[in-house]
Amino acid sequence: MKRLGIHSFVWTDGTTQQGLEMALEKSVEHGYRCIEFAYLRPELFDLDRLARKSQELDVQIGVTMGLPRDKDISSGDPDAVRAGHQMLSDAVRAVRDVGGDKLGGILYSAHTKYDRQPTGEGWKTSAGVIAEIGAEAREAGVMLTLEIVNRFETNLLNTTAQGLRFLDECGNPDVTLHLDTFHMQMEESDPAQAIRMAGDRLGYFHIGESNRGYLGCGTIAWEPIFDALLDIGYDRDVVFESFSTAVVDESLSLACAIWRNTWTENDPLAAHAKQFIEMKHAEARRRRTANAAA
């Protein structure tokens, strides 16, 4: 793992410049070296100021987002596809301008519970747009990384195997997969095996518990996951993701079905997550050394 990071929604609902700057400070205070923001509309925030502040604090910014329904590039509606293409282009530029190095999330479809089956045509259209946006992202020095999420949040890519087929369809080697333990827990028959299958096409990694709360207080088997990350030599960023109604981004809370609190105090949550991830990572390294010696 390159840097350990935290989602800004642990600190702020992300609606004000002040909130985002506070989130940068809190992340650094807790020893995190990268932070994740939701897509920042350039007309609402001072991106230059955020870029300078993140540089001063030496904390790397990454951005994730999901497309809204009326900009769904997998929808088969040409107007929506055009609007989605535009939104992704704008997002790539905003990530570059805020000094970010990656754009992840549900970029290939809407972030919603679908009421219809995906179509082959929608899949192809989406892959074509993502290939083009991947080229724009490369120009901008931004890595495009597609988050594989559970069935209630997209109908297109729910498993790593589907994601890898989609990357093949894109044919753009710069586009990578963004995996998340919360989603893998639900959809993969073997999350660790999924990580191994993704291998060097894994571009970004979210660590979240099965109930999106405190790590270790859910049903995820962490040891095989950390072993698999070591086995593939994963050397990109790992970000802790947890949401509570105590810190609310309205649209994300609705899209992610955050109906109750698994925590209310963010400081102890952030401190625990860092300790937990570093401990699990160190244990995996020790297992590896012991196995090599045996």
Positions touching Mn ion (CB under 5 A) are 180, 206, 241
- For residues 63 and 80, which CB has a smaller minimum distance to Mn ion in the complex? 63
Decide if 21 is catalytic.
Answer: no
**Alpha carbon distance 104, 66 (integer Å):** 9
- For residues 102 and 206, which CB has a smaller minimum distance to Mn ion in the complex? 206
Decide if 43 is catalytic.
Answer: no
- For residues 80 and 146, which CB has a smaller minimum distance to Mn ion in the complex? 146
Q: Return the closest-CA partner of residue 184 out of 148, 217, 221.
A: 148
Q: What amino acid is encoded at 172 in this protein?
A: N
The least CB distance from residue 6 to Mn ion, in Å, is 12
Alpha helices, DSSP H, located in the chain: 17-29, 47-57, 78-97, 120-140, 160-170, 181-187, 191-198, 222-231, 250-255, 266-293
Determine whether 51 is exposed, middle or buried from the number of CB atoms within 10 Å of its CB (0-12, 13-18, 19+): middle
CA distances from 81 to 18, 69, 133, 184 (A): 34, 10, 13, 28
CA distances from 21 to 45, 83, 107, 274 (A): 11, 30, 25, 20
The least CB distance from residue 26 to Mn ion, in Å, is 20
- For residues 72 and 209, which CB has a smaller minimum distance to Mn ion in the complex? 209
- 147, 153, 188, 209: which is the annotated catalytic residue? 147
- For residues 66 and 83, which CB has a smaller minimum distance to Mn ion in the complex? 66
The least CB distance from residue 288 to Mn ion, in Å, is 26
List CB contacts of 88: < 8 A, sequence separation 6 or more: 67, 73, 103, 107, 129, 133
The least CB distance from residue 139 to Mn ion, in Å, is 26
**Alpha carbon distance 160, 147 (integer Å):** 9
The least CB distance from residue 229 to Mn ion, in Å, is 16
Give catalytic residues, as residue numbers: 147, 241
